[in-house]
């Protein structure tokens, strides 16, 4: 896992507590978190087919699979709240790739070349990367598919 894959950048963020799915595994500060169940109360590490993205894990959690684990998540409190995150798939060019939707690849990164689910909005690229590169790029993102917008896209 990559510690602090995502971190808040601009805007208003609040901390909310959620119940971590017992099958989710360990969570590190900076991991993206998604809704895991229809009740919108259980969360897990984000995947590329997430129904919605809740926010960013606020600290590390070992996740005890035999007991409930409550985690704190940094959640955007306004549509313009921005975060910095790793680009782990796709071509990202500084100054060129701006203002477009893209998908979460997993809890540690973004695929800027797909927009099947449009989880995130790429504001700008801060560190470029080539497709298939072993070095992750970096960009500024907004969460589009929040729990409030689940099913809107």
Domain definitions of the chain by residue range: 6-76, 82-146
For the entire predicted model, the pTM comes to: 0.89
Q: Distance between CA 37 and CA 140 in Å, rounded?
A: 28
Sign of CA dihedral 71, 72, 73, 77: positive
pLDDT in tens, 61-109: 987 776 778 999 999 999 899 999 999 998 888 988 899 999 999 999 9
Burial 53-65 (b: 16+ CB within 10 A, else e): bbbbbbeebebee
Q: Is 128 in contact with 98 (CB distance < 8 Å)?
A: no
Q: Distance between CA 34 and CA 135 in Å, rounded?
A: 25
E strand intervals along the chain: 6-10, 13-20, 32-35, 42-45, 53-57, 69-76, 82-89, 100-106, 109-111, 120-127, 137-143
pLDDT in tens, 6-47: 999 999 999 999 999 878 888 999 999 999 866 677 899 999
Does residue 146 have a pLDDT over 90?
Answer: no
């Amino acid at each position: 896992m990559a510690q602090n894959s995502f971190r808040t950048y601009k805007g208003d963020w609040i901390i909310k507590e959620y119940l971590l799915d017992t099958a989710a595994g360990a969570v590190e500060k900076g991991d993206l978190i998604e809704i895991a169940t229809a009740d919108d109360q259980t969360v897990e590490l984000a995947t590329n087919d997430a129904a919605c993205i809740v926010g960013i894990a606020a600290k590390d959690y070992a996740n005890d699979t035999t007991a409930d684990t409550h985690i704190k998540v940094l959640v955007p409190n306004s549509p313009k709240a921005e975060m910095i995150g790793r680009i782990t798939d796709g071509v990202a060019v500084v100054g060129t790739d701006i203002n477009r939707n893209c998908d979460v690849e997993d809890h540690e990164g973004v695929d800027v070349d797909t927009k099947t689910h449009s989880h995130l909005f790429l504001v700008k690229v801060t560190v470029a990367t080539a497709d298939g590169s072993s070095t992750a790029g970096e960009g500024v993102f907004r969460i589009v598919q929040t729990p409030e917008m689940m099913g809107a896209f």
